[in-house]
């Protein structure tokens, strides 16, 4: 796990209570647990009022509590909130808060940018800048949870999807450290049954993750059932073809018992044909899986178009008639540029003129 450093200040969020205590040998060990709890609540050092004033000053001088701060918030008509976050090194990332009757979900980023190069996605248009640390991922959760009125004991954020900017398995070690820490019962305590991880299909990491003991919901970005077409949309397919991808998905189910989700972004005229529906049914048969259809969130930098809502429902019906478990994902945040990467790019363009 990488520890974030800002202006020669080590970031404490992401450290264990024991590690925090080890930085403060002149103070009682229980101070480490107190600070750990405050950090999970999204509090800064000045707000940790049960600590002695001299300790708060000491922490302020030498450490950073949370490496993530909210720069801008946009709220959609449906209650969805899009956050633009600033990191301590000046980089920008995004997150989306989606309230539901069954729980409130935060879509968080795992990298600044992305190097997967998916041609329909805004996140990777500028390539990969760097990986996020476990503390920076936790910072997104703690910050939004507090902004939504929650804390670690009474969470406003109770579901997570690692589906924002970045490929989680391209930042494997830090993502696993984040999963370990976000589930800590003395911290944010979000269990893995409430966490989904989306990958573009790094098959070696899927297999490795299946053997890791973690049991989150695995979402695999498929987007086409044919190798040639998928390679045009997703360059990762040139390294890991569809046959290997399905094999690794089945392995994940065998090891974890968790149904695999296939994300399928519908692009008009690209992957919505009858042949696509039939091939998709063949690929997903024989093991517990679900196809999550998503109408494309259009990006001005490419010429892909979304199908109409009626066309998306027609494709859904074709799959269901073929015996495929499938749904069309409800569109949230479309009026606030809900697709990750759009807000970050626009804000950077404004700053740079």
What are the CA-CA distances from residue 120 to residues 46, 267, 295, 297, 304 (Å)? 44, 9, 12, 9, 7
Question: Which residue shows structure tokens 């060990």?
Answer: 29
Give the Cα separation of 301 and 211 in Å (integer). Answer: 39
Specify the DSSP class assigned to residue 24.
Answer: -
Nearest Cα neighbor of 59 from 121, 111, 13 is: 13
Q: What does the block give as tokens for 227?
A: 């190798």
Cβ(177)–Cβ(14) under 8 Å?
yes
| Residues taking part in catalysis | 94, 340
Nearest Cα neighbor of 166 from 200, 205, 217, 143 is: 200
Question: Which residue shows structure tokens 């949309």?
Answer: 233
């Amino acid at each position: 796990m990488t520890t974030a450093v800002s202006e020669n200040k080590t970031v404490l969020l992401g450290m264990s209570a024991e590690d925090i205590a080890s930085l403060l040998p002149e103070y009682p060990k229980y101070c480490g647990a107190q600070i750990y709890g405050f950090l999970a609540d999204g509090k800064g050092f000045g707000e940790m009022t049960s600590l002695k004033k001299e300790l708060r000053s000491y922490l302020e001088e030498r450490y950073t509590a949370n490496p993530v701060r909210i720069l801008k918030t946009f709220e959609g008509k449906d209650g969805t909130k899009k956050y633009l976050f600033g990191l301590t090194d000046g980089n920008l990332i995004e997150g989306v808060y989606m309230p539901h009757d069954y729980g409130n979900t935060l879509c968080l980023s795992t990298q600044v940018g992305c190097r997967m190069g998916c041609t329909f996605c805004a996140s990777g248009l500028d390539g990969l800048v760097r990986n996020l640390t476990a503390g920076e991922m936790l910072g997104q959760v703690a910050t939004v949870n507090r902004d939504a009125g929650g804390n670690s004991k009474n969470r406003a954020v109770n579901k997570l999807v690692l589906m924002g900017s970045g490929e989680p398995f391209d930042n494997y070690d830090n993502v696993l450290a984040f999963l370990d820490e976000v589930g800590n019962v003395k911290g944010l305590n979000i269990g893995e049954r409430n966490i989904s991880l989306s990958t573009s299909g790094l098959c070696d990491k899927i297999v490795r993750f299946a053997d890791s003991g973690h049991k989150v919901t695995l979402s695999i970005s498929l987007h086409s059932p044919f190798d040639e077409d998928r390679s045009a949309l997703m360059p990762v397919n040139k390294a890991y073809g569809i046959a290997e991808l399905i094999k690794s998905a089945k392995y994940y189910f065998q090891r974890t018992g968790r149904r695999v989700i296939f994300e399928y972004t519908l692009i008009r005229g690209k992957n919505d044909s009858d042949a696509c529906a039939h091939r998709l049914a063949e690929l997903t048969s024989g093991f517990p899986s679900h196809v999550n259809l998503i109408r494309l969130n259009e990006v001005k930098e490419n010429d892909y178009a979304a199908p109409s809502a009626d066309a998306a429902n027609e494709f859904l019906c074709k799959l269901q008639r073929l015996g495929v478990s499938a749904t069309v994902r409800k569109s949230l945040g479309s009026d606030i540029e809900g697709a990750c990467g759009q807000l970050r790019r626009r804000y950077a363009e404004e700053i740079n003129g």
